[in-house]
Each structure stands twice: as structure tokens, then as C-alpha cells.
Amino acid sequence: MITSSDIREYINNVFPENFAFDRDNVGLILGRCDKEVKRVLITLDVDEKVAQEAMEKGADLIISHHPLMFYPIKRLTGNSPEERTLRQLISGDISLISAHTNLDCSSGGLNDYLCEKLDIINTRVIEVVASDEKGEHGFGRIGEFKEEFSLLKILERCKNVLGANGLRYTGREDKMIKRVAVNCGGGADLLDECISLGADLFITGDVKYNPFRNGYESGMAVIDAGHYETEHIVCELLEKVLKDKYPDIEFCISKENIAPIKYF
């Protein structure tokens, strides 16, 4: 019998929880440690629609990237979407495991998978938080394309690979790009470091005006591909990692978790 605790321990072995930010909420967040797991729903976010989907699919466990109760809550009255989601999961006896910033920074984690999807090679960690026999772990990656591509070609690739409805960017479309940095989700905090490392391009999400301006003035192209768009690929990654370990468990990726931001 495979339990919620077994799966949490395996995820912790692959993407150690001690790599997560101190304020993060990772691991088994909701549910019984000894609950038997036969069916798992994988998602980026957990909301009421995802909770309902899990109940309809008969899922015993949800594994998410973004955690619920990221900030402490004091009541479960059902007066907020998060409270209603938690009440749904409790009523359906559905456990919840989240792997967030620990999965972002781990070797073989989400930043590495983003590089793999975009064909970025020879990568190294930008902001190291730990090192062990697997190598360095941390936030952001810098590497290179096998050959130079124009910014326009890379914009097209990002849009197609990540399923983005729109991209915000700065830089000349004919600028040739070889050295490229990425940081999944909201990673603009690493922009100055990417400039100092000589990146031709930085791909991330949630970029505000001033970081765009800094990139523009420094001659480094910046693509804001979206927080959701640079991270929803986590579902593919988790499915691959867990299917190999637990072939008898049914894993499915949420269809109800969609990008909340639209473009007109």
C-alpha cells in the first residue's frame, strides 16, 4: 500500500524541502499521512474548480506546485475561495502535497526542465542555495543555445512551447541570442545578476516596468513569458518523476487549472 506520506517522502528525496524559502509552505499540507493513494491529480494551482475536479475523478491526493495556506489563515468559515477549497478537500478526504520553491531550485527541478523545453544547454545555477553529490541547487539557470537565434525566433519558440497567449518583451527582434538565462515564475529579482553574467536574454515572468527598463538600457533582451506559462510545465515534470516510481498509481494532470490572465 502506498500512502500520502510515502509519496511526500519520495518527493522530498528528489526535491528536498530544506531547499525551499523559509516562508514557503511545502510537503504534506492537508490530509492523513496514512491515507492510501491510488489516484493522483497534478496541478500548478489548487482552487475550487481543481478541488471539484479531484472529487469527480476520485483522486486520493492532489500534488501542486503552488501551495494553499501560503499565508497563515485563522478560520475555515468558507468566506474566501481558499477557505472553500480547503473545506472541499477535507469533505472529500483528499490529501494535498505541495512542492514549490524546493522544486524550482533543485537540480533536475523546474528551472532545469524549463531549459530542457527551450533547448538551452550547458546550464549552471545563477543563485546557489546548496550543493551536494547531485551538484549545485538554486534559483535561475544560465546557459546557451546550440546556435545563435534571433530574438524573434526565440519569441516564437517560447510562445509555442509554453502555450503562451502573448509575450511581453524588450529588445530588437533581429538581435542575435546565444547566452540565455531563465528563472521560472516570478523571477525578475535575478535580472541584475543576469546582466552581470553577460546574458543576451533573460526569460522569466511577472516582470515590472523598471526591470524591463534596466534590461533595455543594458542591452539585454527580456521576455516575460508569464508566471503560469513558465511554470505549468511542472505538471509534466512531476508526472514523469512519479510515474517511474509508482507505476501502479494513476496520475492525471488537471484540466481545470488554466491561466488566469488573458490578453485582448
The predicted-structure confidence for 170-187, as pLDDT tens digits, reads as follows 999 999 999 999 999 999
Three-state DSSP class for 185?
A: strand
Nearest to 59 by CA among 27, 31, 25: 31
Band the pLDDT of 263: cuts 50, 70, 90: confident
Band the pLDDT of 149: cuts 50, 70, 90: very high
- Residues 241 and 255: their CA atoms lie apart, in Å, by 20
Mean per-residue pLDDT of the chain: 96
Secondary structure letter of residue 246 according to DSSP: -
- Residues 215 and 218: their CA atoms lie apart, in Å, by 5
Q: Please, is 21 exposed, middle or buried when counting C-beta atoms within 10 Å of its C-beta (0-12, 13-18, 19+)?
A: middle
- Residues 73 and 26: their CA atoms lie apart, in Å, by 16
Nearest to 6 by CA among 23, 25, 31: 31
Secondary structure letter of residue 264 according to DSSP: -
Give how far Cα 191 sits from Cα of 152, 175, 203, 208, 253, Å.
20, 18, 10, 11, 32
Give pLDDT, residue 72.
87
In 3-state terms the chain splits into helix, strand, coil percentages (rounded to 5) of 35, 30, 35
Give pLDDT, residue 87.
96
- In one-letter notation, the amino acid at residue 127 is E
- Residues 216 and 9: their CA atoms lie apart, in Å, by 44
Band the pLDDT of 63: cuts 50, 70, 90: very high
* Mean pLDDT within 205-228: 97
Block residue for cell numbers 508566471: 227
* Mean pLDDT within 72-84: 91
Give pLDDT, residue 99.
98
Does residue 5 carry a pLDDT above 90? yes
Band the pLDDT of 239: cuts 50, 70, 90: very high
Band the pLDDT of 78: cuts 50, 70, 90: confident
Band the pLDDT of 135: cuts 50, 70, 90: very high
- Residues 129 and 218: their CA atoms lie apart, in Å, by 27
Contact between 58 and 36 (Cβ < 8 Å):
no
Give pLDDT, residue 264.
85
